Amino acid sequence: MTAISDKTQHYKTIHKTCLTANIVYMIVHAFYLVLFVIAHLDILAYVDAAVIALYGLCFWLLHKRKYYLYALVCGNTFFAFISVTTVMMGFGSGFHFYLIGLCVVSYFTSYFSKEKHVGRSLIWVGLSVAIYLVLYFVTRFNQPYYAVPEWMEITLFTIHAIAVFTFVAAYMTVFLKYALSLERRIINESRTDELTQINNRYSLYDFFDGEENKSAMVLALFDIDDFKHINDTYGHVTGDLILKKVAELTANTLSDCFVCRYGGEEFVVVLDDDGRGAAFARLEALREAIAAETFEIEGGEVHITVTIGAAKYPKDASLEKWVSLADEKMYRGKESGKNKTVI
């Protein structure tokens, strides 16, 4: 269901983006049409009117969800318009700047597309470079068809330079925000246990490295007693359900503490130590809450217990050493009967 929803959202985003872009294209070309008519550039006015008509056709293509055909029409229309306007008005008109913008857009559009073919971007960039050079040499050795006024040439050059570089900067800003958002999501997912949706072992390393007051803390390691028997008797699906429930109980009972799944059926809790037994009392409350919980499974109910081992932070010790000390306490509890807290 999620995959279908993501796919639907993907196409909605594509459709909205293409529709917005097409509207912008028509507005820009409407501006050019007015400019060409005022300046009596008849041929360019006819060309631009034809371009506007093509963009009108593009609304129909978008309505029919013909996105690839839409991209082909827009891309080829774009190249044709840039070529004609540059040859007719000269290189100084600045229409060639759009070719620079296309190089950027082609790569980022490929990144956001579903198939992500770099080769297609290279084709568009290659065409842009080739057309750019052809237009440069054609206008270098040939006079433009229209002798446009200097003020108009300067105005167009300035507008196009500002517009294209602003567009590129905006496009890259959007992409950067997206990339940073994606990076944060990846980091968050890499620090979250997939099954229980609480912190995982890597998150514990981050917590340890970032905590400055470790000497006032206790690290507790606990696991589910006889968990292998539960898996063997009721199956791994039941085992996973129990792990998720234990994680939920732990996170709710010790909501102000750092809680993570260390691996398998082992969990780690890091809590403050006031030196008066508060940490032990809170861990005992967690142990009792888990022991009192009824886990409903197919065909019956299951009750489980946990054994908790806890250790104060030894000065200048590594995380591995701290966990090892708590592990020794936990196994001491296992050997002396299980379902207890040893600190």
Q: Flag whether the pTM goes above 0.95.
A: no
**Domains of the chain, earliest start first:** 2-190 (no CATH), 201-342 (3.30.70.270)
pLDDT by residue (tens digit) across 2-56?
A: 444 555 665 677 778 788 888 988 999 999 999 999 989 999 999 999 999 999 9
In this prediction, the residues of the chain whose per-residue pLDDT falls under 50 are 1-4
pLDDT in the model for residue 11: 66
Q: Are 271 and 218 in contact (CB under 8 A)?
A: yes
Contact residues for 267 (Cβ-Cβ < 8 A; gap 6+)? 221, 222, 223, 246, 247, 250, 259, 260, 261
**CA distances for 37 relative to 40, 42, 79, 208, 289, angstroms:** 5, 7, 22, 70, 81
Burial of 227-240, coded b for 16+ CB within 10 Å and e otherwise, reads beebbeebeeebbe
pLDDT in the model for residue 116: 60
CA atoms 316, 317, 322, 325: torsion sign: negative
